[in-house]
Amino acid sequence: MSNPGRRTIAAPIVFGLAVLLGVAATFALDLFLLWWAALIIGVTLAFGLVAALAPFTPDESRIGADGTREEGTPLHNVLVVPMSLILAVAGGLVCAWVLDLQLIEPVAAALGALIGSALAFVLFHRLAAMMALSFAAVLAAGVLAVGVTAAVLLLSGIAPFRTFGRMAEFGTRPDSLVQIINSSITYYLAAVAVAIGFKMKLFNIGVDGQYRLAALLAAAVGGYLVLPPVVSQVVIIATAITVGGVWAGIAGYLKVARGVSEVISTIMLNAIATGITAYLLSTDRLAVEISTNNIGTPPMPESAWVPGIPAGFLGSDREIYGLVLLAVAVGFLYWMMLNRTRFGFELRATGQSQTAAEASGVNVKRMVFLSMLFSGMVAGLVGLPQLLGHSHYYALDFPAGIGFIGIAIALLGRNHPVGIVFAALLWAFLDQAAGILPFDGIPQEIAVIAQATIVLTVVVVYEVVHRWGRRYQQQQIGKQLGRAVESSGEAQ
């Protein structure tokens, strides 16, 4: 409890002092130290100031989602405070690194310190204990995954630090960054498609078949129909959404009408989609000869292309897929659906307990069908960034297997629209960074080991930490209820 007689400092003043200290310390230390060392010290000093003045900013005390007071509790001091510092420093470093691609180093470091110091204030006062637990689980899983990968490298007679250094150096080159962003766009769409099913406890393994069939037919429509700009893109996107939704809707109908497991039906539909794609992708049907050893749908006219976004700000001559904006829109709509609509509430409620949802008047069969339908509609979009932004036709070498990668990324991102973003970027980074390994005589499968280990450890560690956090929360609530009962007894 705050002391009414204690002199307080307004939160905006503390915020301004922290930012000023962080920027000034970073700018001064940058004259003597490496920029990243100066930034870490500057943001840490800003965080220390926020922590020292926390008792004098009572208006920023927090109440957890369960109604318990968090600030000052052991969990807050042991977990939230260090995680806030780590996230603030990491945020400042990443921002400074990105800005350094366009600005001179001292300015980029100062701006990174500004952002990191601002994060230090916000996270210290606003980061909830359960969210901090989630970040801690991901951090612990990452450390475990790096340790396992390093052990595999050591057993293979390969120096792990040199390998990690080469991957980091190659993966952060400007052209590599563009490729990482482009790959993560398709990964993100695939993961959101899977996550919609996961929210209903449905396992849509059929994303791979849904997006490939949708991409083929959408490419055929775009190649054979010459339409004006905008109209052409709308027709192609609508075709992909429709095909993906219909193909997933078959599994949804079998689930609600015949009780067929969506796992079995989507696996079978994947095989059928593969067969249909192979049948249609023939010069006797939808395909034409693209090159000596390749056939595909007719190349789409320029009116159907989606212009890319120049990546000069990253120092690259390549372009980012223009449909990155579509991925952003899908992520926003996914968040809105889950948290701001009745359908989203019923979706989450049904996923938690179908029996309870039915008792509350929710039409569970309808929810199952619509969930599979929406999952398939998003899956239909997965191939479009590549189709409209780069290849402009569907051919034998069109990327496959993205649907299965989406399952791993959805698990890694905990089905959260923002968590999936970071998971997709991490996955794409490991894919791209591993491309340099064969030139050093190192097996490229090291990246696969790292990816699999990260997914496994994140799922396991997150579940363990989450259960412990829930138990701790329940204990705190019990203690508060006990004190409330004692207080009421004394008052009587």
Phi, psi (degrees; rounded to nearest 5) at 69: -80, 130
Sketch the domain layout of the chain as residue ranges: 11-127, 172-441
Cβ atoms within 10 Å, residue 479: 11
Candidates 225, 431, 189, 438; CA nearest to 331 is: 189
Report the pLDDT value the prediction gives residue 132, as an integer from 0 to 100.
79
The answer to whether 90 and 139 have CB atoms below 8 angstroms apart is no
The answer to whether 306 and 218 have CB atoms below 8 angstroms apart is no
Report the pLDDT value the prediction gives residue 456, as an integer from 0 to 100.
82
- How far apart are the C-alpha atoms of 187 and 204, rounded to whole Å? 15
- Decide if domain 172-441 falls under CATH 1.10.3470: yes
Q: What angle do CA 163, 165, 171 make, to 5 degrees?
A: 100
- How far apart are the C-alpha atoms of 460 and 49, rounded to whole Å? 36
Report the pLDDT value the prediction gives residue 136, as an integer from 0 to 100.
78
Q: What is the largest CA-CA distance in the chain?
A: 92
Contacts of 481 (CB under 8 A, 6+ apart): none
Residues of the chain with pLDDT under 50: 1-2, 60-68
Phi, psi (degrees; rounded to nearest 5) at 310: -55, 135
Q: What angle do CA 226, 229, 232 make, to 5 degrees?
A: 55
Report the pLDDT value the prediction gives residue 48, as an integer from 0 to 100.
94
Provide the 3-class DSSP secondary structure of residue 312. helix
- How far apart are the C-alpha atoms of 88 and 135, rounded to whole Å? 12
Question: If 0-12 CB within 10 Å is exposed, 13-18 middle and 19+ buried, where does residue 62 land?
Answer: middle
Alpha helices in 156-205 (DSSP H): 160-171, 174-199
The answer to whether 375 and 193 have CB atoms below 8 angstroms apart is yes
Give pLDDT tens digits for 226-258: 899 999 999 999 999 999 999 999 999 999 999
- This prediction has a pTM of 0.87
Report the pLDDT value the prediction gives residue 218, as an integer from 0 to 100.
96
Contacts of 290 (CB under 8 A, 6+ apart): 296, 299, 393, 395
CA-CA-CA-CA dihedral for 332, 338, 341, 342, to nearest 10? 160
Q: Which two tokens stand for residue 73?
A: 């509790």
Report the pLDDT value the prediction gives residue 487, as an integer from 0 to 100.
66
Q: Provide Rg for the chain, Cα atoms.
A: 26
Give pLDDT tens digits for 261-297: 999 999 999 999 999 999 999 988 899 998 888 899 9
